[in-house]
Structure 1
Amino acid sequence: MSEEEKEIVVKIKRFSKEKGSWWQEYKLKVDRFTQMTEVLRRIKTEQDPTLAYRASCHMAVCGSCGMKINGEPRLACKTLALDMVRKYGKNEITIEPMDFFPVTKDLVVDWTDFYNRMFKVKPRLYPSKEVLEGKAEHRLKPEDQRELWKFEQCIWCGLCVSACPSVKNDPEFLGPAAHAKGYRFLADPRDTIFDERLKILIDSAWRCTYCYQCFNVCPRDIEPVTTIKKTRAYTKFLREKTPVALTGEKHAEAIVKSIEESGKIEEAKVYISTYGLLTAITDMIYAMQNGKLRYALVTQKKVKDMEQIRKIMGE
């Protein structure tokens, strides 16, 4: 065997409605150019024609080959087999269907809920009546195009949703992919349904926990979490705010006030300002019962040169 070729063991989590889940092993030789989509193709054509998976473009454009490779949500076509061997220091590679998505068969998952969330944000431009009638045309300034371009690159692969803990725990959270697509049109000056779109996005935006997993796994470097932050900044334009949005605003204001006063985020003060004294006392009792109260009682000292902090905050 040449230095550029290596035998690997591929463990695939299989699934069928009749048999349930089980792990199955395959062995094959790969070289430094072998993508994981090629690994799956060779397993299916040379060893096991019953294996089910999705793949189409093989160049990180269609987004159909999303799966978990060694526990990471990845595009199989953008993942080289020997890169995973080097990264984890062993010639065994595990492949599983993405989290959150119901499994249909083997690595094929059901996209129904994902598409429902994406379509809920109305993922297309709604131009003015004059434009539709051919009486006017939309112009997009270069600075507007620069703001939108990154977020236009979403390929609906679902990796960010697979990695997101909030979307699994909160059915009201639309998910990072939907927010990336929603903000792309929210920030587009040519769009005519700003108020309607804002109402759809704001409550969900304040449900994100900022774990940055969507940022880490996105194959197109779209940074969905950035769109959520930017969407939150539009809360002031919303006429009727949900309790979640109101709490979110109070939390942001409390953080700003804490930094202006001490140069730090004083968690205890921020929590009381955000949720109120009654909720804080209730949670304090819970923290005391679980031995975590000492963290809330840590005395914070102001940072030096507070005038510099305030100057930065003013800018």
Structure 2
Amino acid sequence: MQAKLRIRRFNPETDKKPWWGEYTLNDVLRTDTVLDLLHRVKWEQDGTLTLRRSCAHGVCGSDAMRINGANALACKTLVKELGGKGETIKIQVEPILGLPVEKDLIVDMEPFFDHYRSVMPFLISDQPVPADGRERLQSPADRERFDDTTKCILCAACTTSCPSFWADGRYVGPAAIVQAHRFIFDSRDEGFNDRLEVMADTFGVWRCRTIFNCTNACPREIKVTEAIAEVKMAITAGKV
């Protein structure tokens, strides 16, 4: 089959504003990924196309982009998932929204990681390290309590699908809240109050409007909106 790609392009060294590049690829398989097609454009037609990717297997999260109007990982999005049963399929690719575009499909991730770091995404404990040098143990039930939010790969697909984040980049965003959830509900962690203080800030968890874009965008199928609701309840209750 044939694929017609419309890709949002922008080179800060030569362009005053973004523009659309249009490319046609033949002999496309329905099992090809969008990343496969972008590689073909770059390797066969236009070597200046710039994108970020690494593992190409949905683990690193580096190739999050906007595909046909929705956030997704290019390496996990198959051509057959984008609709169309004819011999030609149209695919539009853009950088994720809400973060500064550096070039073409690459955005500056530093604002996103600033929010991530603000929730202290590490174990906080004053308890001594176990004498045998092994890890701090907890029951299977305690581990299961936050299991879902350990799956985050920091791709930013959830945060950059959020209208509240688009409206004001100071909002900490869904991904950071997911990271806070992972430690707030960890029985081994003692930074509960410190994290809830960050979450209760003006640009913390209460900026969420429960639109569910984040849950729909997550390539790891994390129940993001549910995690956000649980953090809100933890703030109001003052306890886990």
TM over 0.5: yes
Corresponding residue to 1:15 among 7, 10, 13? 10
Q: Give 1:169 shift.
A: 2.1
1:209 corresponds in structure 2 to 209
1:260 corresponds in structure 2 to none
1:218 corresponds in structure 2 to 218
Q: Deviations over 1:202-238 (max 9, x none)?
A: 3312221101110111111112211111011122455
Does residue 25 of structure 1 match 2:22? yes
Q: Give 1:132 shift.
A: 7.1
Q: Summarize the Cα distance change of 1:196–1:89 in structure 2 as closer, same or farther, 3 Å threshold.
A: farther
Larger radius of gyration: 1
The aligned length equals: 234
Q: TM-score, normalised by structure 1?
A: 0.70
Relative contact order, CA 8 A, sep 6+: which one is greater?
Answer: 2
Q: Summarize the Cα distance change of 1:31–1:229 in structure 2 as closer, same or farther, 3 Å threshold.
A: same
Q: Deviations over 1:131-181 (max 9, x none)?
A: 277688522111121121110000001111111011122444210000001
Q: Name the amino acid aligned to 2:22.
A: E
Q: CA separation in 1, counterparts of 2:132 and 2:90?
A: 59
Q: CA separation in 2, counterparts of 1:63 and 1:136?
A: 30
Q: CA separation in 1, counterparts of 2:4 and 2:134?
A: 60
Paired residues of 1:15 and 1:22 also in contact (CA < 8 A): yes
Q: Summarize the Cα distance change of 1:192–1:133 in structure 2 as closer, same or farther, 3 Å threshold.
A: farther
Q: CA separation in 2, counterparts of 1:198 and 1:90?
A: 51
What does residue range 85-234 of structure 1 map to in structure 2 within 5 Å?
A: 85-86=83-84, 91-131=89-129, 138-203=136-201, 204-234=204-234
Tell me the SS of whatever aligns to 1:9.
Answer: strand
Paired residues of 2:98 and 2:169 also in contact (CA < 8 A): no
1:248 corresponds in structure 2 to none
Q: Name the amino acid aligned to 2:198.
A: I
Q: Give 1:127 shift.
A: 3.1
Q: Name the amino acid aligned to 1:228.
A: I
- In structure 2, list runs of 5 or more residues that go unmatched: none
Q: Name the amino acid aligned to 2:7.
A: I
Paired residues of 2:2 and 2:87 also in contact (CA < 8 A): no
* Root-mean-square deviation over aligned CA pairs: 2.2
Q: CA separation in 2, counterparts of 1:27 and 1:220?
A: 31
Q: TM-score, normalised by structure 2?
A: 0.90
- In structure 1, list runs of 5 or more residues that go unmatched: 1-5, 240-315
Q: CA separation in 2, counterparts of 1:91 and 1:63?
A: 25
Q: Summarize the Cα distance change of 1:71–1:171 in structure 2 as closer, same or farther, 3 Å threshold.
A: closer
Task: Say which structure is richer in helix.
Answer: 1
Q: Summarize the Cα distance change of 1:208–1:90 in structure 2 as closer, same or farther, 3 Å threshold.
A: farther
Q: CA separation in 1, counterparts of 2:31 and 2:42?
A: 19
Tell me the SS of whatever aligns to 2:41.
Answer: helix
Q: Name the amino acid aligned to 2:45.
A: Q
Q: Name the amino acid aligned to 1:232.
A: K
Paired residues of 1:202 and 1:231 also in contact (CA < 8 A): no
Tell me the SS of whatever aligns to 2:55.
Answer: coil
Q: Name the amino acid aligned to 1:111.
A: M
Q: Summarize the Cα distance change of 1:143–1:89 in structure 2 as closer, same or farther, 3 Å threshold.
A: farther
